[in-house]
Amino acid sequence: MARIKVGDIFEIDTPKGKAYLHYIHKDPVTGALVRVLQGLHLEKPANFDELAEQKERYLISFPLGAAASRKIVERVGFYSASEFSKPKFMRQEHSVRGEFLGWHIVDTDTWHLQLVKTLTVEQKELSPWGVWNDTLLIEKLIEDWSLEKWG
């Protein structure tokens, strides 16, 4: 298998169709940061540029190298990632023993956490912090999970 490059587009199968991931950043700790592109597709799009130019659903850290070597994802295209960068902030739910206490806003450079009880409009647009495996990603895709529905 050829070396994975920032900008590569990968396909992952779900029970409801194919989803596409655009690799935009490599972090030395959390690994590959990918844009989860819009839609689930019954057939491969004719033009990946059009798909990649749309606003993504969200960003996630994903074990792309392992998924590619295990053939969970397949490289299907390339779209320059030069206009995309790692976001300064992401978010995660903060619960203790099942009790929701608020949200951690995570500085992706320093990993500093700021606890907020209620999200602002801007914070609701932040992608989830943490690494998602293929099982979790597929689950979220088939239930049409979105940032808007998440808190």
- Residue 25 clears pLDDT 70, i.e. is over it: yes
Shared domain for 69 and 109, answered yes or no, is no
Model pLDDT, residue 68: 96
Model pLDDT, residue 151: 77
- Residue 129 clears pLDDT 70, i.e. is over it: yes
Shared domain for 107 and 147, answered yes or no, is no
Shared domain for 115 and 146, answered yes or no, is no
Question: Could you list the residue range(s) of the whole structural domain that residue 138 is in?
Answer: 1-84+131-151
Shared domain for 63 and 95, answered yes or no, is no
Model pLDDT, residue 65: 95
Confidence grade of residue 2 (pLDDT, cut at 50, 70, 90):
confident
Per-residue pLDDT tens for 56-113? 999 999 999 999 999 999 999 999 999 999 999 999 999 999 999 999 999 999 999 9
Shared domain for 71 and 140, answered yes or no, is yes
Shared domain for 109 and 148, answered yes or no, is no
Per-residue pLDDT tens for 97-117? 999 999 999 999 999 999 999
- Residue 1 clears pLDDT 70, i.e. is over it: no
Do the strands 89-96 and 73-78 form a parallel or antiparallel pair, or are they unpaired? Answer: unpaired
Torsion of CA 8, 13, 19, 21, to 10 degrees: -30
Shared domain for 8 and 57, answered yes or no, is yes
Confidence grade of residue 141 (pLDDT, cut at 50, 70, 90):
very high
pTM summary value? 0.94
Cβ atoms within 10 A of the Cβ of 149, count?
8
For residue 107, give every residue at least 6 positions away whose Cβ sits within 8 Å of its Cβ, in sequence order, or none: 88, 89, 113, 114
Shared domain for 13 and 71, answered yes or no, is yes
Strands, E assignment, 57-98: 58-62, 73-78, 89-96
Average pLDDT, the chain: 96
CA distance 125 to 85: 15
Shared domain for 76 and 92, answered yes or no, is no
Shared domain for 93 and 146, answered yes or no, is no
- Residue 22 clears pLDDT 80, i.e. is over it: yes
Average of pLDDT values for 33-45? 96
